[in-house]
């Protein structure tokens, strides 16, 4: 090991573990590049990237986990270098989230005829919150199925996280929603955690444009043309970023494992298994819903696969939004109006994983540990609190913490959340499954609403997959 500030602090390459891990990452990236040159399709390259990322993460941590140099220096350095690629790619996608949300909502409101926007809004909230209620029930069931006990997950939280969660827990229900109303358009547009506020601003602009198109059409026409040009440009930028996705997935997945360590994962295997069981059950619930709609669930999951895989890797519903919209409109036969409206709201309302299964699990765990009576009325209360509290939870990494705090506060256990700090220690691991479920739920909701509206193109849904790189 080279124990000098230049290598340990600046360059972040001071030992053979870091050098080896960086070399392995470069080899993996080159292999994916070769596959692209050989015209291997995008979906297959995404699967290969996921597998490579998992193998890299497990192998590197297994090799180094018994060595003090790796634990003290290597793990942190490797995480920084892998984060350069993985987090760097995710930031490229996330930088498009605000313009995509803003332009999508404006386009929907402007294009929708008559009073249809009212019906579209009602149906969207009904489907998103309805599936969240179901996911909350599933969260309760998996806690009981695995016999989990809150006392088993005792652990300390960082002082910053305790303070942040305490601030959320101290807010009343009206105060929580008051904070969603924007008071500075520029600060809102610079924060991916303010998606609901962006939707509100976009809706205000869109309503004004609709009014002016009748009263002063000539004056507002240039602004509408500008917005349409911006949307086309943003979509073009998005296409170029999407082409880099397999490379980003390798680094994101492997870094999640390396930065947390296999030991932390195995120590919480019961909770991880329970949550992923909940995710699988919800994915099967979607199968039933799709069959009820007369839509082939196998086709749905085949076409949604790369989107869900990216959601799994990136752990960001907002970051995945541009790709979600592209997949729904381009490959699933969902109308542009429904796609833009439902997918966008789905990043902030009724997220089935982060604001459904997960907070319901924590609510049940803490209540049982605190000696609450586990009866039907309590479970109904959990489902109600989780469902209502899911409105306005922005889809960025860390959202589930807010959702859990809101739920526990609603159940009267907000002060006890620090008693299960161990769960938040493996948050990135469970967040992968939660985010995938969020995106899957919003995609299913989009199809439900579009079928309900009579604008779903089943022929396009059943057609061949179109490459998202085009």
Predicted confidence (pLDDT) per residue in 246-267, tens digit: 898 899 889 888 887 777 677 6
Domains of the chain, each with CATH number or no CATH = 5-94 (no CATH), 115-194+261-462 (1.10.3860.10)
pLDDT at 173: 64
Q: Is the model more confident about 397 or about 403?
A: 403
Model confidence at 470: pLDDT above 60: no
d(C-alpha 392, C-alpha 194), whole Å: 9
Terminal Cα distance for the chain, rounded? 46
pLDDT at 43: 79
Torsion of CA 467, 100, 204, 350, to 10 degrees: 80
Token pair recorded at residue 424: 């938040």
Average pLDDT in the 450-461 region? 92
DSSP letters spanning 269-307: HHHHHHHHHHHHHHHHHHHHHHHHTT--HHHHHHHHHHH
Q: Is the model more confident about 110 or about 142?
A: 142
Model confidence at 397: pLDDT above 70: no
Torsion of CA 249, 254, 260, 266, to 10 degrees: 110
Q: Is the model more confident about 179 or about 70?
A: 70
Reported as a pLDDT band with limits 50, 70 and 90, residue 162 is low
**Backbone Cα Rg of the chain:** 23
Number of H helices, E strands in the chain: 24, 0
pLDDT at 155: 59
Predicted confidence (pLDDT) per residue in 5-21, tens digit: 777 788 888 888 899 99
Average pLDDT in the 232-237 region? 86
Helix (H) or strand (E) run with residue 201 in it: helix 195-215
Task: Find the length of the chain.
Answer: 470
Do 330 and 372 form a contact (C-beta atoms < 8 A)? Answer: no
Reported as a pLDDT band with limits 50, 70 and 90, residue 154 is low
Residue 408: count of CB within 10 angstroms of its CB: 26
Contacts of residue 127, Cβ cutoff 8 Å, sequence gap at least 6: 342, 445, 448, 449
Model confidence at 130: pLDDT above 90: yes
Q: Which 3 state secondary structure label does DSSP give 317?
A: helix
Q: Average pLDDT of the chain?
A: 85
Model confidence at 171: pLDDT above 80: no
β-pair partners for 391: 349
d(C-alpha 267, C-alpha 36), whole Å: 38
pTM for the complete prediction?
Answer: 0.83
Model confidence at 352: pLDDT above 70: yes
pLDDT at 198: 84
Token pair recorded at residue 356: 């459904």
Average pLDDT in the 113-134 region? 86
Which of 94-108, 275-289, 358-372 is predicted most confidently?
A: 275-289
Model confidence at 469: pLDDT above 60: no
Q: Minimal CA–CA distance to 105: which of 348, 312, 319, 436?
A: 348
């Amino acid at each position: 090991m080279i124990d000098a500030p230049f290598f340990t602090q600046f360059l972040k390459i001071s030992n053979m573990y870091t050098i080896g891990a960086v070399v392995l990452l470069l080899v993996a990236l080159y292999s994916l590049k070769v596959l692209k040159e050989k015209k291997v399709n995008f979906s297959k390259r995404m699967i290969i990237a996921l597998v490579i990322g998992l193998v890299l993460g497990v192998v590197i941590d297994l090799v180094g986990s018994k060595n003090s140099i790796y634990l003290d220096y290597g793990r942190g350095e490797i995480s920084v270098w892998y984060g350069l690629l993985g987090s760097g790619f995710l930031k490229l996608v996330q930088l498009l989230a605000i313009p995509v949300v803003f332009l999508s909502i404006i386009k929907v409101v402007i294009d929708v005829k008559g009073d249809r926007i009212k019906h579209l809004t009602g149906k969207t909230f009904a489907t998103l919150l309805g599936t969240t209620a179901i996911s909350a029930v599933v969260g309760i069931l998996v806690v009981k199925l695995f016999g989990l006990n809150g006392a088993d997950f005792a652990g300390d939280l960082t002082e910053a996280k305790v303070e942040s969660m305490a601030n959320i827990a101290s807010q009343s229900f009206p105060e929580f929603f008051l904070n969603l109303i924007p008071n500075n358009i520029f600060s809102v547009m610079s924060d991916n955690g303010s998606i609901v506020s962006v939707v509100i601003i976009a809706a205000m602009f869109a309503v004004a444009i609709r009014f002016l198109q009748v009263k002063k059409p000539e004056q507002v026409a240039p602004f509408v043309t500008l917005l349409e040009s911006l949307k086309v440009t943003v979509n073009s930028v998005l296409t170029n970023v999407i082409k880099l996705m397999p490379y980003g997935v390798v680094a994101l997945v492997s870094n999640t494992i390396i930065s947390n360590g296999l030991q932390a994962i195995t120590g919480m295997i019961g909770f991880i298994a329970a949550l992923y069981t909940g995710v699988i059950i919800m994915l099967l619930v979607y199968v039933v819903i799709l069959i009820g709609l007369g839509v082939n669930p196998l086709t749905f999951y085949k076409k949604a696969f790369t989107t869900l895989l990216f959601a799994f890797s990136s752990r960001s519903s907002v970051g995945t939004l541009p790709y979600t919209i592209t997949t729904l409109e381009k490959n699933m036969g969902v109308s542009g109006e429904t796609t833009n409206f439902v997918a966008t709201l789905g990043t902030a309302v009724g997220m089935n994983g982060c604001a459904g299964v997960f907070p319901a699990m924590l609510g049940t765990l803490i209540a049982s540990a605190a000696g609450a009576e586990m009866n039907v009325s309590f479970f109904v209360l959990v489902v109600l609190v989780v469902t209502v509290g899911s409105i306005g939870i922005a889809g960025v990494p860390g959202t589930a913490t807010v959702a859990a705090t809101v739920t526990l506060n609603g159940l009267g256990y907000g002060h006890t959340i620090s008693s299960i700090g161990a769960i938040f220690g493996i948050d990135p691991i469970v967040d992968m499954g939660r985010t995938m479920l969020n995106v899957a739920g919003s995609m299913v909701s989009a199809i439900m609403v579009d079928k309900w509206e009579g604008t779903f193109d089943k022929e396009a849904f059943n057609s061949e997959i179109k490459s998202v790189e085009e």
